[in-house]
């Protein structure tokens, strides 16, 4: 069994924000799985992003899932909107959700699916921590869902 973790922040105020790209992915993946499909366990931590490791560690321990069978899906400002990467043991330079998971699992040996969310123009580069808390536009959401349908078969 693989644990697919979508990172984001709980609450309506964060719905459809760039920081919740992982939550959006898990929601889309759930639509494509049969209810009896036991290959995947889906998780959207109900903690805030920076404490995601708590929920991931509890879920992995309860279901006896090894780190190499964990796939964490998250937003990434190092990648342009429409791009994505799947990597094991490496990730963005700075992502507090990933950092929390590494600390709680005691390892970096898990997969990350990094979803590009940066769609800022060179002339309008607001700080990243402000930008990721803004909502996607309808056009950006369309691009995001197109990428989700490319990623899902790779799981």
Q: Is residue 74 annotated as a catalytic residue, yes or no?
A: no
Helix, strand, coil: what percent of the chain each, to 5?
A: 45, 25, 35
Which two three-digit tokens encode residue 40?
Answer: 């995947």
Residues across the chain:
155
The two structure tokens encoding residue 35: 């209810």
Strand bridging mode 40-43 / 84-88:
unpaired
CA angle 27, 45, 26 (to 5 degrees): 15
Q: For residues 95 and 147, give the distance between their C-alpha atoms in angstroms, rounded to a whole number.
A: 21
Q: How far apart are CA 113 and CA 15, in angstroms?
A: 20
Active site residue ranges:
19
């Amino acid at each position: 069994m693989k644990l697919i973790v979508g990172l984001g922040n709980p609450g309506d105020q964060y719905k459809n924000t760039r920081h919740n790209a992982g939550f959006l992915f898990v929601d889309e993946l759930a639509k494509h799985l049969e209810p009896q499909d036991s290959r995947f366990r889906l998780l959207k931590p109900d903690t805030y992003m920076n404490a995601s490791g708590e929920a991931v560690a509890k879920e992995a321990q309860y279901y006896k899932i090894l780190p190499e069978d964990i796939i964490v899906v998250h937003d990434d400002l190092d990648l342009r909107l429409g791009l994505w990467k799947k990597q094991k043991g490496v990730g963005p330079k700075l992502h507090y959700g990933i950092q929390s998971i590494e600390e709680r699992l005691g390892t970096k040996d898990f997969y990350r699916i990094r979803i590009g969310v940066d769609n800022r123009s060179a002339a309008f580069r607001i700080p990243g921590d402000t930008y990721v808390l803004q909502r996607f536009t309808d056009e950006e959401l369309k691009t995001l869902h197109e990428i989700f349908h490319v990623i899902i078969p790779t799981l």
